[in-house]
């Protein structure tokens, strides 16, 4: 059974800073040409400071500064683009798209605005619109590695793994130090069952960016787990957790490796931690339920399978294995209902 999950890194977002290091002007200027120049200069300051706030995670301050920049210079396309990013990071995708639209209206050659709007469309599930924007960004800037990466991510979501790999290849060709592209190409190879290729890519991603490689260690651990190299898998999950103690999936995946290793009590502890960090993690509940079943704690197993189904009503495996537990407890009617639901959702035992 494949019951672990891997993470795909956050998509590449692009911003502009403009050369301006000075504070906003406070001098009164009567000359209208000079006044316009000062306003534009001040707008650039606010736009750049807003980007600094955004990079610090202070999105409200960032939005306030981008808004001030736009007030001072309504033609400043980059301020709209960057405010769109701040809205995007807050999950306000409709507002983000409005800002990207305006940036593109003001500067139709701004490839990054098309790429960023594509990301917002992708997050809304509108992949057709996303592809149109990614293609346009590539047309405008064929050397823009980030947009190939983003389009590859979208192809991966569609299950078009060969196209995804081709785009990651191009991103790496344009930027050989692009650690995220190696990680995501590794994920695509993993999905194709080419685990040795996946591991090579994860190795390269870790080599390029070892301090920010928690998810890559997690993903390489997943590949090792699928190869049956459980000690290597556990070592990688340990490293992922050391780098990011809040990475719930690393605990969940390490729990699965411990389960495969026969260390059921350790597995339970890791599933507990994964659930503590991410209470909406249906896989962790399902996996813990499986361990409880192995330990003969059937009532606990039912509780966990039921919770997994509550969180993910299309979780066919959870229905099937809850059915097994019901059958062992003499609940024939409940068991038959769960088997039927699992079959309806596409899962039947081999």
**How far out from the chain centre does Cα 264 lie?**
30
Domain membership of residue 318 (yes or no) is yes
Domain membership of residue 211 (yes or no) is no
The token pair that represents 307 in the structure block = 């919770």
Domain membership of residue 160 (yes or no) is no
The total of structural domains in the chain comes to 1
Domain membership of residue 331 (yes or no) is yes
* CA–CA distances in Å: residue 196 to residues 189, 200, 202, 254: 9, 6, 10, 20
- Contact call for residues 267 and 240 (beta carbons, < 8 A): no
pTM of the model: 0.83
Task: Tell me the pLDDT of the chain (350 aa) as tens digits.
Answer: 222 223 222 334 444 433 333 333 322 223 333 335 667 788 888 998 999 999 899 999 999 999 999 999 999 999 999 999 999 999 999 999 999 999 999 999 999 999 999 999 999 999 999 999 999 999 999 999 999 999 999 999 999 999 999 999 999 999 999 999 999 999 999 999 999 999 999 999 999 999 999 999 999 999 999 999 999 999 999 999 999 999 999 999 999 999 999 999 999 999 999 999 999 999 999 999 999 999 999 999 999 999 999 999 999 999 999 999 999 999 999 999 999 999 999 988 87
User: What's residue 29's pLDDT?
Assistant: 29
Size of the chain, expressed as the number of residues it contains: 350
User: What's residue 27's pLDDT?
Assistant: 27
The token pair that represents 306 in the structure block = 């039921």
Domain membership of residue 349 (yes or no) is yes
Structural domain of 337: 280-350
Domain membership of residue 337 (yes or no) is yes
Domain membership of residue 261 (yes or no) is no
Domain membership of residue 324 (yes or no) is yes
The token pair that represents 333 in the structure block = 């009617």
| Residues whose CB falls within 8 Å of the CB of residue 302, separated by 6 or more in sequence, listed in order | 289, 322, 325, 326, 329
Question: At 314, which CATH number?
Answer: 1.25.40.10
């Amino acid at each position: 059974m494949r019951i672990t999950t891997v993470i795909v890194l956050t998509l590449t977002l692009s911003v502009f800073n403009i050369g301006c290091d000075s504070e906003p002007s406070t001098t009164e200027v009567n000359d209208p040409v000079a006044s316009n120049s000062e306003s534009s200069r001040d707008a650039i300051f606010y736009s750049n400071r807003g980007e600094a706030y955004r990079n610090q995670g202070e999105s409200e301050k960032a939005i306030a500064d981008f808004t001030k920049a736009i007030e001072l210079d309504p033609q400043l396309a980059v301020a709209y683009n960057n405010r769109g990013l701040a809205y995007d990071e807050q999950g306000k995708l409709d507002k983000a798209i409005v800002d990207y639209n305006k940036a593109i209206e003001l500067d139709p050659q701004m490839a990054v605005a098309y790429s960023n709007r594509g990301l917002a469309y992708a997050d809304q599930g509108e992949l057709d619109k996303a592809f149109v924007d990614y293609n346009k960004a590539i047309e405008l800037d064929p050397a823009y590695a980030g947009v190939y990466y983003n389009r590859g991510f979208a192809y991966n979501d569609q299950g078009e793994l060969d196209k995804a790999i081709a785009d990651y290849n191009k991103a790496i060709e344009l930027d050989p130090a692009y650690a995220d592209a190696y990680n995501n190409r590794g994920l695509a190879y993993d999905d194709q069952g080419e685990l040795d290729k996946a591991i090579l890519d994860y190795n390269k991603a870790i080599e390029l960016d070892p301090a920010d490689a928690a998810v890559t260690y997690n993903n390489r651990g997943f590949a090792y787990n699928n190869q049956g190299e459980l000690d290597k898998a556990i070592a990688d999950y340990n490293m992922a957790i050391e780098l990011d103690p809040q990475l719930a999936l690393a605990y969940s995946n390490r729990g699965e490796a411990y389960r495969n290793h026969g260390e059921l009590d350790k597995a339970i502890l890791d599933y507990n931690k994964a659930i503590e960090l991410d209470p909406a993690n249906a896989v962790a509940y399902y996996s813990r339920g499986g361990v409880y079943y192995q330990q003969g704690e059937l009532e606990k197993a039912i509780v966990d399978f039921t919770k997994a189904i509550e969180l993910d009503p299309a979780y066919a495996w959870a229905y099937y294995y809850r059915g097994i537990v019901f059958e062992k407890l003499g609940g024939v009617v409940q068991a038959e209902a769960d088997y039927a639901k699992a079959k309806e959702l596409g899962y039947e035992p081999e």
